[in-house]
A = this chain, B = another copy of it.
Amino acid sequence: MASPSSDLDRERRKCTFIVAELTDIINGGREKTERRRYLESIILNDPIFGNKDSHFLSREEKYSNGVMKSKRLSEVLKEHNIENPQDYKIMLNVIGESLPIGLHNSMFRPTIRDQGTDEQRKKWLPLANDYKIIGTYAQTELGHGTFIRGLETTSTYDPKREEFVLNTPTLTATKWWPGCLGKTSTHAVVMAQLYIKNQCYGLHSFIVQLRSLKDHSPMPGVTVGDIGNKVGLETNDNGFLAMDNVRIPRENMLMRHAQVYPDGTYRKPANPRLAYGAMVLVRATIVAGSATNLSKAATIAIRYSCVRRQTEAKPGELEPQIIDYVTQQHKLVPQLATAYAFAWIARYMMSTYHALHADIESGHLGALQELHGISSGLKAFTAEMSVSGIEVCRRACGGHGFSAASGLVSIYKDWLPSCTYEGENTVLYLQTARFLLKCFRQPSITPSSMSYILIKPLPGARWGVKSPEDLMKPILLVEAFEHRAQRTIKSAAQFLESQISQGLDTSEAMNRSGIEFVRCAKAHCYYFVTRNFFQSTAQLKCSKEIKESLLTLGVVFALNGIADNSGEFLEDCFVTGTQMEFVRERIQYCYKQLRPNLVGLVDAFAFADQSLNSALGAYDGDVYNRLYNWAKRAPLNKTDVHSSYHKYLRSILKSKI
Contacts and interface: CB of A to CB of B under 8 A. Distances in A.
Interface of A: 1, 55-56, 58-60, 63-64, 67-68, 70-71, 74, 78, 130-134, 140, 142-147, 149-150, 170-172, 174, 176-177, 182-184, 186, 213, 215-218, 225-232, 237, 240, 309-314, 319, 324-327, 330-331, 395, 398-399, 401-405, 409, 416-417, 419-421, 424-426, 430, 505, 507-508, 511-515, 518, 563, 565-573, 577, 580, 584, 588, 624-625, 627-628, 630-637, 640-645, 647-653, 655, 657
A171 B628 contact: yes
Contacts of A580: 567, 571
Nearest to A657: B130
Given A67-B647, A71-B648, A648-B68, A311 B514 contact: no
A173 to B, nearest CB: 10
Contact of A327 (B177, B183, B515): B515
B648 A237 contact: no
Nearest to A577: B571
A389 to B, nearest CB: 14
9 contacts: A64-B647, A130-B657, A147-B311, A216-B650, A228-B633, A229-B404, A402-B420, A566-B567, A567-B570
Most buried by B among A60, A319, A324: A60
A443 B627 CA distance: 48
A589 B650 CA distance: 60
Given A144-B310, A319-B147, A567-B566, A183 B636 contact: yes
Nearest to A213: B653
Nearest to A566: B567
A304 to B, nearest CB: 13
A333 B490 CA distance: 27
A146 B56 contact: no
A132 B636 contact: no
A139 to B, nearest CB: 11
A404 B573 CA distance: 47
Contact of A217 (B132, B569, B640): B640
Contacts of A398: 145-146, 420, 424
Contacts of A171: 624-625, 628
A636 B572 CA distance: 57
B403 A632 contact: no
Contact of A228 (B182, B213, B405): B405
A424 to B, nearest CB: 6
8 tightest A-B contacts by CB? A566-B567, A228-B634, A226-B636, A327-B514, A567-B567, A147-B311, A229-B404, A67-B644
Contacts of A150: 310-312, 319
A326 B514 contact: yes
Given A67-B647, A566-B568, A647-B64, A229 B634 contact: yes
B653 A228 contact: no
Contact of A641 (B215, B584, B634, B645): B215
A98 to B, nearest CB: 13
A425 to B, nearest CB: 8
Contacts of A312: 147, 149-150
Nearest to A567: B566
Contacts of A311: 146-147, 150
A142 B1 contact: no
Given A70-B648, A228-B634, A573-B577, 12 more contacts: A63-B644, A74-B652, A145-B398, A145-B399, A183-B636, A227-B631, A237-B636, A325-B511, A399-B421, A566-B566, A566-B568, A570-B570
Nearest to A129: B657
A397 to B, nearest CB: 9
Contacts of A507: 313-314
B630 A240 contact: no
A4 to B, nearest CB: 10
B404 A420 contact: no
A202 to B, nearest CB: 13
A227 B186 contact: no
A141 to B, nearest CB: 10
Contacts of A143: 1, 309, 624
Contacts of A58: 58-59
A183 B636 CA distance: 8
A403 B652 contact: no
B229 A131 contact: no
